[in-house]
Amino acid sequence: MKLPSRVTICEVGTRDGFQIEPDFIPTDLKVEVVNGLAEAGLPLIEVTSFVHPKVVPALRDAEAVMARIARRPGTVYAALVPNDTGAVRAVDAGVDEIHTVVSASESHNLANVNMTIAESLDRLHAVMRVAERAGVRVVAGISTAFGCPFEGAVPVSQVERIVARLADMGARGIGLADTTGVANPLQVTRVLEHLAPKFPTLEWGLHTHDTRAMAIPNVLAAMAHGVTHFDASIGGLGGCPFAPGASGNVCTEDLVHCLHAMEVETGIDLDRLLAVSRRVEGIVGRALPGQVVKAGPYTRRYPVPDGIAHRLPATAE
For the chain, helix (H) and strand (E) counts, in that order, are 12, 8
Is 240 among the catalytic positions? yes
Helix (H, G, I), strand (E, B) or coil at 207: strand
What separation, in Å, do the N-terminal and C-terminal C-alpha atoms of the chain show? 31
Amino acid in position 16: D
Query: What are the residues facing 143 on neighbouring strands?
Result: 103
Residue 199 makes CB contacts below 8 A (sequence gap 6+) with 163, 164, 167, 174
| Cα dist from 90 to 76, 81, 102, 112, 281, whole Å | 14, 8, 18, 21, 28
Q: Which of 127, 140, 118, 120 is nearest to 91 (CA)?
A: 127
- The vertex-17 CA angle with 47 and 113, nearest 5°, equals 85
Phi first, then psi: give them for residue 297, nearest 5 degrees: -70, 165
Query: What are the residues facing 141 on neighbouring strands?
Result: 101, 175
Q: Where are the beta strands (DSSP E) in 1-87?
A: 8-11, 44-49, 76-80
What is the spatial distance between Cα 168 and Cα 170, in angstroms, rounded to a whole number?
5
Query: What are the residues facing 76 on neighbouring strands?
Result: 44
DSSP 224: T
Phi first, then psi: give them for residue 196, nearest 5 degrees: -55, -45
* Residue tagged active-site, from 148, 240, 251, 258: 240
Under 8 Å between Cβ of 183 and 209: no
| Alpha helices for 41-155 (secondary structure H) | 62-68, 84-92, 106-113, 117-134
* Catalytic positions, written as ranges: 240
